[in-house]
Structure 1
Amino acid sequence: MMSAEKALRASAHAAFILIVVGFWEYSAQQGWLDATFFGRPLGIASYLWRGFYIDGQLWLELGYTLMGAALSFVGGAVAATAVGLVFTMLPRLNRVAEPYLTFFNAMPRIALAPLFLLWFGLGIGSKIAVGISLTFFIVLSATVAGIRSVNSDHLILSRALGATPAQIFLKVTMPSAVPVIFSGLRLGLIFALLGVVGAELIAAEHGLGQTLAYLQSTFNTDGVMALLALLAVLGLCTTSFMNRIERALLAWQ
């Protein structure tokens, strides 16, 4: 059951959104806001209704984007976590690799998207490559920082009590590092989505980014605003999903 406080908070958010949307629509009807530049809520709703429930095309584009973002996130997160664990066990290797990682991380991946398109083509492969390149460095930094932030007194006490390295890692190091690592994973998931959409904006066969680029070129402001709102909702949902997983893993605290 939803508590009274949560229900009141949800009602307040809903009322605020309705007021903003209502004022937006009224302003567009009265000519205070030019619908050519800002769109209209009714036009946005009509575009989403038609795209999802009339011709169903948006389901296909949404599926391509979500699949690319999911594969990018999983690939980048797994690789970054593995490399981060190696770096924490071999600090000297981390010091040697750090300038090279900083060099590659400083490269603007969206600017490199045309190169990825040349290597992997217009299909989903190039979008996954861009997403992984964004996710990897964020999760890697969070993994290394999280493991290194473990209280040294806890490690010393665990060794003194006879805990094995595996027990220390599973029962002391990882539980303590989870909050920091999940902060990186949360950002990594968002950046995976942004990377895929950004690459789709440049060139793609399918995806929300490709649709957004077409709508911009045809000055379909309602469609552009609708897809921007849809992407914002996706970002909100993914962040909420990661927060729930984090709370479940940290229920012991």
Structure 2
Amino acid sequence: MNTRTQTYVDRALAVAGLVALWQLAASLSWVDQLLIGSPMGIAAYLRENLFGDGILLVDFGWTMLGTLAAFALGTLAAIATGVLFVISPRMERAFEPILAAVNSMPRIALAPLFLIWFGLGLASKVAIGFSLCYFIVLSGTVAGGRSVSQDHSVLAVTLGASPWRKFIHFTLPTAVPTIFAGLRLGLVYSLLGVVGGEIIASEHGLGQQLSLLSSQFNTNGVLGILLLLALTGAGINGLMNVLENALLRWR
């Protein structure tokens, strides 16, 4: 058995051991199930609501729709702003204090304002996710744009490359890895922002279900949705890794 396979086996055994201990503690009432739920109860909840009546599938669809919309809008705006700042440092110096002040505001505190502006529907959740994604991707874009080797910049100028060709052939390829690091975090934080907005006030979504289940003291339901969100986040991160490796194969 090679090292990689051994690692997967060890991880599976560790998870299985923890789940077995959790189920034993719940079954023997070592800890009240109202506090920790039980693996079997979580599995039953997910089976009924995912594959039974499909309620969670609908809410999952709403959450992912808001996440993808927030990520797409936040990424486009952030990359456009980042490229502008890299090309024009004067513009960055002018807007940096404003953006820093806005970025320092807690998004959950701004959620009621977004609800007033955009209502209880999907738009307010997209706005919260956008506000988180935008600044993360913007930071990665600016850092990537500034990471180009000074020797390459001098070489490009010496060879008579125009600013546009210099950007396409030198700055952008160098910046892509750093930008992707920001994109990976931006997508995860878009999900967090959308779910957070749904918890506060929403008509649909996993966050709305979390709020409802917690008010009913349904621990298994709350933990089931948290497990679903954790698996979704891990899947998003894995997908971004595959995409990054495919696009950066040339490196």
TM-score computed with the length of structure 1 as normaliser: 0.96
1:159 matched to which residue of 2? Answer: 157
1:144-164 CA-to-partner distances (Å, cap 9, x unmatched) read 111001111111112323433
Aligned counterpart in structure 1 of residue 234 of structure 2, from 216, 229, 236: 236
CA RMSD of aligned residues (A): 1.2
2:173 matched to which residue of 1? Answer: 175
Q: Tell me the amino acid that sits aligned with residue 163 of structure 1.
A: A
Q: Tell me the amino acid that sits aligned with residue 213 of structure 2.
A: L
1:106 matched to which residue of 2? Answer: 104
Q: Tell me the amino acid that sits aligned with residue 234 of structure 1.
A: T
1:224 matched to which residue of 2? Answer: 222
Percent of residue pairs bearing the same amino acid type? 49
1:6 matched to which residue of 2? Answer: 4
1:127 matched to which residue of 2? Answer: 125
1:183-228 CA-to-partner distances (Å, cap 9, x unmatched) read 1111111110000000000000000000000000000000001111
What CA distance in whole angstroms lies between the structure 2 residues aligned with 1:36 and 1:97? 50
**SS in structure 2 opposite 1:175?**
helix
Aligned counterpart in structure 1 of residue 20 of structure 2, from 3, 19, 22: 22
CA-CA distance at 1:99 after TM superposition: 0.4
CA-CA distance at 1:250 after TM superposition: 1.5
1:50 matched to which residue of 2? Answer: 48
CA-CA distance at 1:10 after TM superposition: 2.0
1:34-92 CA-to-partner distances (Å, cap 9, x unmatched) read 21101100000000000111111110000000000000000001000001101111111
What CA distance in whole angstroms lies between the structure 2 residues aligned with 1:50 and 1:12? 31
What CA distance in whole angstroms lies between the structure 1 residues aligned with 2:106 and 2:212? 24
What CA distance in whole angstroms lies between the structure 2 residues aligned with 1:69 and 1:201? 14
What CA distance in whole angstroms lies between the structure 2 residues aligned with 1:98 and 1:104? 10
What CA distance in whole angstroms lies between the structure 1 residues aligned with 2:6 and 2:164? 47
What CA distance in whole angstroms lies between the structure 2 residues aligned with 1:112 and 1:242? 29
What CA distance in whole angstroms lies between the structure 1 residues aligned with 2:98 and 2:165? 33
Within 5 A, what are the aligned runs for 1:180-195?
180-195=178-193
**SS in structure 2 opposite 1:135?**
helix
For structure 1, which segment, 216-225 or 25-34, has the greater mean C-alpha deviation from structure 2 after superposition?
Answer: 25-34
What CA distance in whole angstroms lies between the structure 1 residues aligned with 2:123 and 2:203? 11
Query: Matched residue pairs, number?
Result: 251
What CA distance in whole angstroms lies between the structure 2 residues aligned with 1:4 and 1:158? 47
2:138 matched to which residue of 1? Answer: 140
For structure 1, which segment, 163-172 or 148-157, has the greater mean C-alpha deviation from structure 2 after superposition?
Answer: 163-172
CA-CA distance at 1:180 after TM superposition: 1.0
TM-score computed with the length of structure 2 as normaliser: 0.97
CA-CA distance at 1:165 after TM superposition: 2.9
Q: Tell me the amino acid that sits aligned with residue 28 of structure 2.
A: Q
Q: Tell me the amino acid that sits aligned with residue 237 of structure 1.
A: G
The alignment status of 1:36 with 2:29, answered yes or no, reads: no
What CA distance in whole angstroms lies between the structure 2 residues aligned with 1:144 and 1:193? 23
**SS in structure 2 opposite 1:252?**
coil
Q: Tell me the amino acid that sits aligned with residue 228 of structure 1.
A: L
1:100-156 CA-to-partner distances (Å, cap 9, x unmatched) read 001111111111111111111110000000000111111111101110011111111
Within 5 A, what are the aligned runs for 1:178-217?
178-217=176-215
What CA distance in whole angstroms lies between the structure 1 residues aligned with 2:88 and 2:170? 19
Q: Tell me the amino acid that sits aligned with residue 104 of structure 1.
A: V
1:77 matched to which residue of 2? Answer: 75
**SS in structure 1 opposite 2:221?**
helix
Gaps of 5+ in 2: none
What CA distance in whole angstroms lies between the structure 2 residues aligned with 1:87 and 1:147? 9
Aligned counterpart in structure 2 of residue 68 of structure 1, from 53, 66, 69: 66
